[in-house]
Structure 1
């Protein structure tokens, strides 16, 4: 199915909008029940010590996905996955509220397959990791009853981030750079239009 999906690979530095060490490729598809993501992340030094759901994955290598599903509503969702396949998912009712990490009791029911191409926390050169994820719409509807399953022409607002934290470096990249040190900056969320 991914063969026909458009590829997004213009990830840029979150603060400058310039090319950065962190890089990857993203594909998306959808049907009546879910949004599907296929992500390939380049990473020469895999680091992720976290193994519990809703751990602070952003402190290590991670792929982050922000979704504001409704125009005119401030609610948004943050979903992260590590190269180990650990998930962080949260619902924010408005900008960074509730503080500090949102409603972490939110369960996105994310179905996830992650393949790490390398080993963790050693000197061996790694390649990166691959993510295939299915995000069902129902848990979003459960939080936002007015949300409707997207149809062709419908819009949602999104942003995606790659955090690459090696032993001796830290890099990050954004699909839509916020140009401020805040991944929750909703003004930077890009409009995603569903096609037929």
Structure 2
């Protein structure tokens, strides 16, 4: 399945018009069906960072953790995996909870069901804000500096990375809902074979 997201360049993030950025929608991670609660995302880039906005319908929040790199994925969370190198064996994982708590890790995936998650790796400039709207939905805005991504380098117009975007949400009955931009076919986000193209563009 050919999927790509065109990530547009902006001069200043504080002047970005998010509604003009390409929108992507998350689907059920297993079935690819439309989920009960909608999750939209948009992305853009500046000279030094990748920026992602999530808009999440939400009627019930589970977010009790308060410390960076706690297992946020056990509660409500939005996530992005970035693979600037290709191949899916080394990539970066970023998570944000509804409370604005951060999780970042360097992943070494052997593509055989085994992987190492290095939470000692820290993206120093990784930042996020979370705002609740009157209807209960939440808007996450995430900044990931290119300088924090080890040897990935700064993209140029036309650079292609691989990535996937995710969300985990608990409902009032305690049922966990897993969604992805590129569904993996299983309740497992760490399927690099399903990563799709993130195309940086100045066009």
Scaled by the length of structure 2, what TM-score is found?
A: 0.83
CA-CA distance at 1:32 after TM superposition: 2.0
CA separation of 1:171/1:103 partners in 2, compared to 1, >3 Å: closer, same or farther?
Answer: same
Please give the root-mean-square deviation of Cα atoms over the aligned residues, in Å.
Answer: 1.6
Task: Say if 2:114 is the partner of 1:114.
Answer: no
Q: Unaligned 5+ residue runs, structure 1?
A: 119-125
Q: Could you tell me which residue of structure 1 aligns to residue 145 of structure 2?
A: 136
Q: Describe the SS at the equivalent of 1:181.
A: coil
CA-CA distance at 1:170 after TM superposition: 2.0
Q: Does the CA-based 8 Å contact 2:88-2:193 persist in structure 1?
A: no
Task: Say if 2:201 is the partner of 1:195.
Answer: yes
Moved over 6 A (4+): none
Q: Could you tell me which residue of structure 1 aligns to residue 115 of structure 2?
A: 97
CA-CA distance at 1:8 after TM superposition: 1.3
The CA distance in 2 between the partners of 1:72 and 1:188, in whole Å, is 11
Q: Does the CA-based 8 Å contact 1:22-1:172 persist in structure 2?
A: no
Q: Could you tell me which residue of structure 2 aligns to residue 24 of structure 1?
A: 39
CA separation of 1:72/1:61 partners in 2, compared to 1, >3 Å: closer, same or farther?
Answer: closer
CA-CA distance at 1:72 after TM superposition: 4.1
Structure with a larger share of its residues in strand: 2
CA-CA distance at 1:127 after TM superposition: 1.6
Q: Describe the SS at the equivalent of 2:52.
A: strand
The CA distance in 2 between the partners of 1:55 and 1:22, in whole Å, is 25
Q: Describe the SS at the equivalent of 1:19.
A: coil
CA-CA distance at 1:22 after TM superposition: 3.5
How many pairs were matched up? 181
Map 1:48-59; keep pairs closer than 5 Å.
Answer: 48-59=63-74
Map 1:29-178; keep pairs closer than 5 Å.
Answer: 29-72=44-87, 74-95=89-110, 97-98=115-116, 102-108=117-123, 109-117=125-133, 127-141=136-150, 145=151, 147-168=152-173, 169-178=175-184
The CA distance in 2 between the partners of 1:18 and 1:90, in whole Å, is 29
Q: Unaligned 5+ residue runs, structure 2?
A: 1-15
Scaled by the length of structure 1, what TM-score is found?
A: 0.86
